[in-house]
Amino acid sequence: MKGRAPLAYELFYWPQIPGRGEFIRLALEEAGADYVDTCRLKGPGRGTKAMLSTMYGQGVAHPPFASPFLRDGDVLIGQTAAILLYLGGRLGLAPADEAGKLWTHQIQLTIADCAAEAHDTHHPVSADLYYEEQKPEAARRAKYFRDERIPKYLDWFETILDRNPAGRAHLVGEKLTYADLSLYYLVEGLKYAFPRAMARHLPGRRSVAALAVAMPQRPGIAAYLVSPRRMPFSEQDLFRHYPELDDPIG
């Protein structure tokens, strides 16, 4: 039997935003993995249409509820944190033991919760409405998010970095995991969306701040960040900058 060339991982996510897909992209990029960002390509089996037909087409045994999702040969996986759980060992970005794997995954799920709350600051009523249709609700929710939730999450990340017996450079053990990359991206997203609030909260969380400085200096990530594969933040995205949702000036 002839050997089969290993297939590239196929990532499916909206083609114009970093969004939740970026958690996956950063892991794939750091590892130098062979992958295609399917919806950003043209041709058969490519484009947003390929994503939608996988989600809503007949005959897909395990249709994902939402994007991002990943195809690896016969395996189709949705839910960002589940995708990273699957990729972690394969990309060398998670511990090999069960307890370490689970702790990394638990951190990722908490990062995902924070990202979902950040999203809901601009869409507190419904993701099906425009931000402009829910501005009063957004103003109230964003205030609580800035004043109560951002510090609570940052404190937790700071605590677990500081308690890592292998040192505070990484969340888990002495080596990089996908959770480190995800925390960096979360911090970047929050800084984009809430620059004034983050200027208030981040400097006091020194270990989180240091991790967010270190990650983009890694060669694989640095190369990715200046490549056309990296898309900019925008107001069509998970993290959005509406000045009126940030701390008031002065």
DSSP 38: G
Nearer to a copy of itself by C-beta: 24 or 231? 24
Q: How far is the CB of 101 from a copy of itself (least distance, A)?
A: 10
- List contacts with a copy of itself (CB under 8 A): 60-65, 75, 77-79, 81-82, 85-86, 99, 102-103, 105-106, 109-110, 113, 116, 120, 124-126, 128-129, 134, 137, 140-141, 144, 148, 153, 156, 159-160, 163, 165
CB of 158 to a copy of itself, least distance (A): 12
Cβ-Cβ contacts under 8 Å for 246 (sequence gap 6 or more): 142, 146, 193, 194, 195, 196, 197
Listed in sequence order, the residues at least 6 apart from 88 whose beta carbon sits closer than 8 Å to its beta carbon are 27, 94, 101, 104, 105, 177, 178
Q: Do 104 and 88 touch, CB atoms closer than 8 A? A: yes
**What minimum distance in Å lies between the beta carbon of 19 and a copy of itself?**
16
Whole-angstrom CA distances from 227 to 47, 63, 212, 223, 245 are 20, 31, 19, 6, 30
Q: Nearest approach, Cβ of 24 to a copy of itself (angstroms)?
A: 14
Question: Among residues 109 and 214, whose Cβ is nearest to a copy of itself?
Answer: 109
Minimum CB distance to a copy of itself smaller for 207 or for 224: 207
